[in-house]
Amino acid sequence: MPDEPLLTEVVDGVSTLTLNRPDALNALNGELRRELTAAFKAAARDDATRAVVITGAGRGFCAGADLRGGSEERAFRAVLTNEYNPLIAAIRSLPKPVVAAVNGVAAGAGVSLALAADLVVASEGARFVPAFNRIGLVPDSGLARVLVRAAGRHRAFEILMGERELGAGEAHDLGLVASVVPADRLAGAARELARRLADGPTIAIGLTKRLLNGAEDATLDESLAAEAALQDVAGRTDDHAEGVAAFGEKRDPRFGGR
Ligand code: T3D
C-alpha cells in the first residue's frame, strides 16, 4: 500500500477514506489529522460524493493520538482546538452520511472518530478502548458527550475508567454500533450500506443530520421550528418530487441528490 497517511477513493458515489499508518494502528499524527479534515471538507464540496466510509488499514481502526508524536502533540489546547475539534465538527456537519467501518481496535480519539460517524459497522473482533485514563488524560474529541448520552452517566464513567474494554457486541447493545459482522465481510457491508445511502435523497439526508445535531440540545419548540424550516428546503428538492412521483407510479424512486 502506498505511503500516504490517508487513502481516498470515490466509487459509485461513495468516498472511502482509509487511515493508512498500519504500523502504528493508524494513530493520528498532525499530517493525518489535517488530511482527514481536508478530506471531509472536500467530500462536502464534491458532487460525486454522496456518502463517506472511514476505515483503517491493517489490523487496527485508529489508536488515537500518536503517542510518539513529540512536543507537537503536547500542546493540548492548541492541538484539540485547531485539529481534533475541527475534524469532529467536519464529520458531524458534513451534509452527507458517514459510515465508520471499525476493522479492529479503536483507542482514545480513535473511539471518538468512529463515534462521530452517523453509522458504525464493526467487525466481530473490533474493540473500543477509551485509553485516555490509562495515560492520565481526559476524554476528548466529543467522546464524553456521545458516551453519556448512549450509555448514561454511570456506565459512561465505568467505560471511561477502562474497567473493561468495550467489545463490538456491547457497543452494539448500547446503540453505538449499527451492526457487527465477520471481519472478512466488513468492507463489503460498510460499502453496501454507504452505497444504499448514496442512492438516497442526499439533501434530505444532510438536513436530517442537521436536525439531529440540533435536536440533541433543543427544546420541543425549537425542534418543531427547525423541522418546519428544513422541511421547507427538502420539500423543494427534485428528490422530493421524484419520491412522490415514484410512489404514484408504484416504482422505486431514482434520487439524483438534488
Ligand atoms: O494533544 C493531544 O494529542 C490530545 C489528544 C489526545 C487524544 C488521544 O487519543 S489520547 C489516547 C492516545 N492513545 C492511546 O493511549 C492508545 C495507545 N495504544 C494502546 O493502548 C494499544 O496499542 C492498543 C490498545 C490500541 C492496541 O493494543 P495491541 O496490544 O493490540 O497493540 P500494540 O502492540 O500495543 O500496538 C501495535 C503497534 O502500534 C506498536 O508499535 P510497535 O511496538 O509494534 O512498533 C505500538 O507502539 C503502536 N501504537 C499503538 N498505539 C499507538 C501506537 N503508536 C503511536 N501512537 C499510538 N497511539
Give me the mean pLDDT over the 131-136 stretch.
95
Q: What percent of the chain has pLDDT over 70?
A: 99
Q: Which of 7-11, 65-69, 194-198, 202-206 has the lowest mean pLDDT?
A: 65-69
pTM above 0.85, yes or no: yes
Q: Is 111 in the pocket of ligand 1 (CB under 6 A)?
A: no
Strand 119-123, strand 98-102: pairing: parallel
**In this predicted structure, what is the pLDDT of residue 2?**
60
Q: Mean pLDDT across the chain, nearest whole number? A: 96
Extract the C-alpha cell encoding 30: 498532525
Q: Which residue do the cell numbers 454511570 mark?
A: 154
Extract the C-alpha cell encoding 149: 448520552
Task: Please give the Cα distance from 209 to 211 (Å, whole number).
Answer: 5
Q: Whose CA is nearest to atom 31 of ligand 1?
A: 25
The distance from CA 255 to its chain's CA centroid, rounded to whole angstroms, is 23
**In this predicted structure, what is the pLDDT of residue 29?**
96
Q: Which residue do the cell numbers 458534513 mark?
A: 94
CA of 67 from ligand 1 middle (Å) equals 7
pLDDT in tens, 62-77: 999 999 987 777 889 9
